[in-house]
């Protein structure tokens, strides 16, 4: 069963946080870091895969906001 935005992050720094509130850059880090074939929690990988467009947009918005400040 796929994970939903209303469910909580099952591990890591944001364990217990609703997935919709976990920062996109953290989910991107999981995507880039974890070996998708052997990770113990394929559900989070599937969640990230299904939400890639939204997460990419959020990441770009956060990155541009950071560059505007400096």
Write the DSSP symbol of residue 9: P
Residue 53: what pLDDT? 92
C-alpha distance across the termini of the chain, in Å: 43
pLDDT tens, 12-51?
Answer: 899 999 999 999 999 999 888 877 666 567 888 899 999 9
Residue 60: what pLDDT? 87
Closest by Cα among 1, 2, 28 to 14: 28
Residue 70: what pLDDT? 52
Residue 1: what pLDDT? 78
By the 8 A CB rule, do 45 and 39 touch? yes
Rounded to 5 degrees, φ, ψ at 12 are 80, -165
Residue 5: what pLDDT? 94
Is pLDDT larger for residue 23 or for residue 1? Answer: 23
Is pLDDT larger for residue 3 or for residue 1? Answer: 3
Q: How many CB atoms lie within 10 A of CB 24?
A: 20
């Amino acid at each position: 069963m796929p994970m939903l935005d209303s469910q909580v992050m099952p591990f890591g720094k944001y364990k217990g946080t609703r997935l919709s509130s976990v920062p996109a850059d953290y989910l991107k880090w999981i995507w880039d870091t974890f070996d998708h074939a052997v990770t113990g929690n394929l559900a989070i990988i599937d969640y990230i895969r299904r939400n890639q467009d939204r997460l990419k947009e959020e990441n770009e918005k956060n990155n541009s906001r950071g560059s505007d400040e400096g």
